[in-house]
Structure 1
Amino acid sequence: MSTAVRIVKTADVLHGKPRIEGTRVGVFQIGEAVRRQDWSEGDAAEQFGLDVAQVRAAVEYYDEHPELMDTLRKQKRARRQSIRAESRAK
């Protein structure tokens, strides 16, 4: 019996960003690793403590929602810039 891997969004986990149900592993994190850093699905599964089916589901969601992933990428970039600016402030 196989069970489908679900991608969920809940306000109290990862600030409502999509993640694999039952984990705190975000779709964006997996998608970036596989699509932008050229990790294999097996490598991602091993590094994130998932199985390959979970990684595939996350990558599929990532690919099907490019606008959301672009928004998350921009938010991440803005957070980094803010942190850099704060660390330079005295």
Structure 2
Amino acid sequence: MSTTDADPDDTPDGETPRVVQTDDVLGGRPRLEGRRVGVYTLYSRSADGERTPRELAEAYDLSVAEVHTALAYAAANPDQMASIAERSGAPTDAGERIVRPDE
């Protein structure tokens, strides 16, 4: 199967996607293993309603499972996402925060 015929729901290697952090890639910010796509990038484009997980998968050449893994990580680590947003100079509303799925 060529990459253009790949199912966007499948991961490239059939493995469960993982979020990793390494000092030498993306400045140590969390990202999908084997990718240079940061969790915060996917979160911010999803959270503002800009794109659906499937659209993000297509735009970044990821599987939908990888996008969902990144979004779950962002939801589980709201303080880290807020810190990344602050360091990147991303505009935020004073009352805005990341809401965990269990809240």
Q: Same fold (TM over 0.5)?
A: yes
Aligned residues: 78
For structure 1, the residue ranges without an aligned partner over 5 or more in a row are 79-90
Residue identity (%): 34
Aligned-partner Cα distance in 2 for 1:4–1:46: 18
Q: 2:66 aligns with which of 54, 68, 83?
A: 54
Q: Which has the larger radius of gyration?
A: 1
Aligned to 2:54: 42
Q: TM-score, normalised by structure 1?
A: 0.81
Q: For 1:9-88, what aligned pairs fall within 5 Å after superposition?
A: 9-77=21-89
Cα shift readout 1:19-65 (whole Å, capped 9, x = no counterpart): 00000000000011111234111000011110100000000001110
| Separation (CA, whole Å) in 1 of partners of 2:15 and 2:47 | 25
Q: Which has the higher contact order (CA 8 A, sep 6+)?
A: 2
- Report the Cα offset of residue 3 of structure 1: 1.6
Q: Which amino acid aligns with 2:56?
A: A
Structure having the higher helix fraction is 1
Code of the aligned partner of 1:28: Y
TM-score, normalised by the number of residues in structure 2: 0.71
Q: Hey, what does 2:9 align to over in structure 1?
A: none
Q: Which amino acid aligns with 1:55?
A: V
User: Deviating runs (4+, > 3 A) in structure 1?
Assistant: none
C-alpha distance in structure 1 between counterparts of 2:33 and 2:80, whole Å = 18
